[in-house]
Amino acid sequence: MNIRYPNGKVFQSTANTPSKNKAPVLYANRGMTLEDDLHESNLYYLHHQIAVVHKKPTPIQIVDVHYPKRSAAVIKEAYFKQASTTDFNGVYNGRYIDFEAKETKNKTSFPLQNFHEHQIQHMQQVVKQNGICFVILMFRVFNEVYLLPAERLFYYWERKEAGERKSITKQEVEKDGYLIPIGFQPRIDYIKIIDSVYC
C-alpha cells in the first residue's frame, strides 16, 4: 500500500526494512513505546474520571482499493489528507490540553528536526487561547521522560530559526522541563506535573 503526504511524497516506513549493516532486531522483552505508555496512562485517567485525553487520528484519503475477495478489501494507495498537528488532546479540570510526544536515542540532546513548523504554529495558537500545551520528551537511553512547556519549546525553536543550535541539550531539558517519574498506574503521570505547573 502506498500512503502519500499532502505534497505527494510517498511515506516510507523503515520499521520493517532490514539493514545490511545492522544486527537483526530482537523483540523479546522489548518495552512499550512512549505513545503506548501515554495511551495506557490516558486510559487510566479516563477510567478513573481524572481527564479525557485521546490520541488524534491521522486523516487519510484512500484513492485505490483492490478487492481480491468479495469479503476483503486491500488498500493499495492512500494519502495523508493534511499535515497533522500534535499527537494528543483533551480536557482536564475544565481546561483544554494539547501536547506532542517525542522520543530520542540521543544521550546529550533532543533534535528539533523532530518537530515541524505547522506543529509549532498549532501549539502557539493553543497557548494564545490559554490552553495547556506542552511536549513530552523521552530520552530512551536513560528511560527518562520530561514535560517541557510549549513556551520553552518556542524559545529553542526560535533559536534554531535564527541559525543557532538545532537541538535542545539534555541539560536545558532538565532545567526547563519537569521529570515525570515512570510508575505503574498511570505509567506516565503527566497530570501530576500539570497540577504543579499550570493549576
87 a known binding residue? yes
104 a known binding residue? no
**Cβ count within 10 A of residue 43:** 14
Sorted by sequence, the CB contacts under 8 Å of residue 156 that are 6+ apart come out as 112, 165, 168, 172
85 a known binding residue? yes
Reference 151, options 128, 181, 170, 167; nearest CA is: 128
Reference 103, options 167, 191, 33; nearest CA is: 33
Binding region for Mg(2+): 85, 87, 100, 119
Binding region: 85, 87, 100, 119
